[in-house]
C-alpha cells in the first residue's frame, strides 16, 4: 500500500509540474520576449510545464517566422503559432527578428492561424486547465472574452494568467497596457480567473547580464537568442527581465522567488495607468525582495541559456 501511495504522489507531482502553458507575446518589440520563450522551452524540456502554443499581438511580418525559427531550434518546430489580428500603433516593432532570421535556415511561408482562433482551439482541446503567460498586449485575451461563450471557456479552461503588465509602484502607464488600453481594461477588470501581474518595477530591478549572452550560449555556433540579443542593442548591455519574470512565476510559483500582494482588483485608467485596490478580488502583483535579486538572476540566466534537449 505504501508503494502505491508513493507512486500515486509521484504521478500527481509530474502531472502538476507539466501544466500546459500558452505564451501570448508581442515578440519583436523588446528582447525579453525572446528570452522568455527560451525559458519556456527549457522548462518544458525539464518536464515542469508543457508549452502548447504561442500567440502573437505584434503584427510585424517577421514575428511568425521568427517564433517558428526559435521553436524549431528548440526541437518544437510543429508548435502552433497564432498571428496578430491587428497592427497597433507603436506595437509592431522589429528590434531583432529580421536580423536573427538571416542566420537561420529557410522557413516555409505557411500562413498562421489568427491568434484568438488558435487560443480558442487550444483551450477547447486541452484536457486540463492551462496557465497563460501574457507578455504583450491584452488584445488576444480581450478578443477571446468578446467571442461566443468566451468567458465561459476561459473560466473552464484557464487556471491562471500571469501577465507582464502594469506599474504598481508608480503612476506612469506601462508599455504593454498603454499600447492597447481598451483590451487591457477588458481583461484586467473582467477576466473570470485569477491574474498575477509582474509589474514594470519587477523586471526593471532585475537586469539580465550581458555576460550570459557572451558565455552561456556559446554551445551553439549560431544561437538565435544570442544573435537576437546582440542585434537589439549595442553590446555589452544589461536589459530588464520583464517578460522572464512572468514566465518564471507562471511555472514555478511554489519556489518563492517573488512575494505577492494581497488579493484585490486592478483598474485601468484612460491613459493606461493601473490602479490596484486591495480587498475583494483575485488580482495580485509580484513584489521583489532585494535579497533575492542575485538568486533570481542566476535562475533566469540558467533557464534562458539551457541547451535544447536532444530529440
For 267-281, the pLDDT digits (tens) are 999 999 999 999 999
Summarised one tens digit per residue, pLDDT across range 155-164 is 999 999 999 9
| pLDDT at res. 175 | 98
Q: What is the DSSP string of 249-284?
A: HHH-GGG-SSEEPPSEEEEE-TTS-EEEEESSSSEE
pLDDT at 3: 40
Q: What is the mean pLDDT of the chain?
A: 94
Alpha carbons 49 and 132: distance in angstroms, whole number: 12
Interior CA angle at 126 toward 82 and 303, to 5°?
65
Q: Strands (DSSP E) along 121-165, which ranges?
A: 130-134, 158-164
In the chain, the domains with their CATH numbers are 25-304 (3.90.245.10)
Distance spanning both ends of the chain, measured CA to CA:
36
- The helix/strand count (H/E) of the chain reads as 14, 13
Please tell me the distance from the alpha carbon of residue 248 to that of residue 297, in angstroms, as a whole number: 11
pLDDT beyond 70 at 89: yes
Alpha carbon of 258 to those of 204, 216, 225, 262, 306: distances in Å?
14, 25, 25, 13, 22
Per-residue pLDDT band for 107 (boundaries 50, 70, 90) equals confident
The pLDDT score that the predictor gives to residue 18 is: 86
Question: Does residue 309 surpass a pLDDT of 50?
Answer: yes
* Chain segment 47-66, per-residue pLDDT in tens: 999 999 999 999 999 999 99
pLDDT tier for residue 6 given thresholds of 50, 70 and 90: very low
Confidence category of residue 70, pLDDT binned at 50, 70, 90? very high
Taking a C-beta distance cutoff of 8 angstroms, is the pair 68, 100 a contact? no
The mean per-residue pLDDT over the stretch 137-147 comes to 98
Report the pLDDT value the prediction gives residue 108, as an integer from 0 to 100.
Answer: 67
| 193-226 pLDDT per residue, tens | 999 999 999 999 999 999 999 999 999 999 999 9
pLDDT at 106 over 80: no
Q: How confident is the model at residue 109 (pLDDT cuts 50, 70, 90)?
A: confident
Residues with Cβ within 8 Å of 38's Cβ and at least 6 positions away in sequence, in order, are: 70, 74, 225, 303, 304, 305, 306
Among 35, 11, 81, smallest CA distance to 246 is for 35
- The percent of residues in the chain predicted with pLDDT above 90, rounded, is 90
Q: How far apart are CA 202 and CA 165, in angstroms?
A: 10
Amino acid at each position: 500500500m505504501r508503494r502505491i501511495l508513493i507512486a500515486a504522489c509521484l504521478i500527481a507531482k509530474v502531472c502538476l509540474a507539466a501544466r500546459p502553458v500558452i505564451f501570448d507575446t508581442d515578440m519583436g518589440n523588446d528582447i525579453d520576449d525572446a528570452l522568455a520563450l527560451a525559458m519556456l522551452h527549457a522548462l518544458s524540456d525539464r518536464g515542469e510545464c508543457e508549452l502548447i502554443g504561442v500567440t502573437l499581438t505584434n503584427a510585424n511580418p517577421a514575428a511568425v517566422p521568427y517564433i517558428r525559427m526559435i521553436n524549431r531550434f528548440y526541437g518544437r518546430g510543429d508548435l502552433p503559432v497564432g498571428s496578430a489580428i491587428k497592427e497597433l500603433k507603436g506595437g509592431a516593432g522589429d528590434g531583432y527578428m529580421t536580423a536573427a532570421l538571416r542566420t537561420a535556415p529557410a522557413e516555409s511561408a505557411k500562413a498562421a492561424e489568427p491568434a484568438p482562433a488558435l487560443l480558442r482551439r487550444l483551450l477547447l482541446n486541452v484536457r486540463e486547465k492551462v496557465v497563460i503567460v501574457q507578455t504583450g498586449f491584452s488584445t488576444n485575451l480581450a478578443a477571446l472574452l468578446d467571442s461566443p461563450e468566451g468567458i465561459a471557456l476561459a473560466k473552464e479552461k484557464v487556471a491562471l494568467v500571469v501577465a507582464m503588465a502594469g506599474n504598481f509602484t508608480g503612476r506612469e502607464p506601462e508599455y504593454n497596457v498603454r499600447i492597447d488600453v481598451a483590451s487591457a481594461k477588458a481583461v484586467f477588470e473582467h477576466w473570470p480567473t485569477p491574474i498575477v501581474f509582474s509589474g514594470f518595477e519587477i523586471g526593471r530591478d532585475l537586469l539580465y547580464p550581458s555576460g550570459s549572452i557572451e558565455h552561456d550560449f556559446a554551445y551553439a555556433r549560431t544561437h538565435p537568442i544570442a544573435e537576437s540579443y546582440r542585434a537589439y542593442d549595442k553590446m555589452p548591455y544589461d536589459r530588464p527581465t520583464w517578460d522572464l519574470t512572468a514566465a518564471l512565476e507562471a511555472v514555478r510559483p511554489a519556489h518563492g522567488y517573488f512575494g505577492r500582494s494581497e488579493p484585490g482588483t486592478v483598474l485601468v485608467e484612460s491613459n493606461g495607468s493601473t490602479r490596484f485596490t486591495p480587498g475583494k478580488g483575485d488580482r495580485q502583483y509580484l513584489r521583489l525582495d532585494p535579497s533575492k535579486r542575485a538568486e533570481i538572476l542566476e535562475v533566469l540566466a540558467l533557464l534562458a541559456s539551457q541547451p535544447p534537449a536532444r530529440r
